[in-house]
Amino acid sequence: MEASKGIPASLQEVLFEGPVPGESLTKDPNERYPWEGPPRYTSVKEAREKIFLQLLEPNRLKSLQQLLSNGVSVNALAISLLKEGFQNGAINPDLMLNLLEPTMVMITAIAEKSGIEPIIEGEGTIDEEDDEEDAKRVIAESRGIIPERGGFNRAKVINIQPMSVGKDIKAQLDNLNVAKVKESLLQKRNTNRDSLLSKGE
């Protein structure tokens, strides 16, 4: 009881609700989580083509447009989609990182073709007034997209390169024909934010 005196009451209630250390080792080996097995996709090219096709599915496209028009950032959407892919066993953590930039390019292009001004979190530019050291810092930051002591949720791409999607997808994005979002859709609040993140590979 003495040890709990320095712990806030709100924290005491949930302090011991986490898993017991080693609990995961007691699970039946035949009941594995999807991410515990080999991923379905092992190449960036194959995975980004799958993501591109999924984003253009009518229901997902509509949900994506709603989320973008409600001010959800491109970065946040890309991270959510890739985490979903990892949790479903489609990709591994290394592929998640490699797919972040191409996924952001695809979502940005869809937003622009839909007449939505995309919010790109973590976008960085170098002003003319910045000195050489600042320019080097921005370039270095664009190489490492996860900040020190940060997880994938904090990953950012500073200088997005459109060609990261590859020539084929880039050409399709340039010629993409999607319905423009109407004003009524822009004003309507999205009540089901998880619709884009539903399962379905």
pTM of the model: 0.66
Rounded to the nearest 5°, which phi and psi values hold at 112? -65, -40
Separation between Cα atoms, residue 137 and residue 16, nearest integer Å = 43
Structure tokens at 60: 């997902």
- Residue 164 burial (10 A CB sphere; 0-12, 13-18, 19+): buried
Token readout for 71 is: 């001010």
> How far apart, in whole angstroms, are the C-alpha atoms of residue 194 and residue 200?
13
pLDDT tens for the 201 residues of the chain, in order: 455 566 677 666 666 677 778 877 787 777 777 878 889 999 999 999 999 999 999 899 999 999 998 888 899 999 999 999 998 999 998 899 899 999 999 999 999 998 998 888 744 443 444 445 554 554 444 444 555 555 777 777 777 888 888 889 988 888 888 878 765 444 444 444 333 434 444
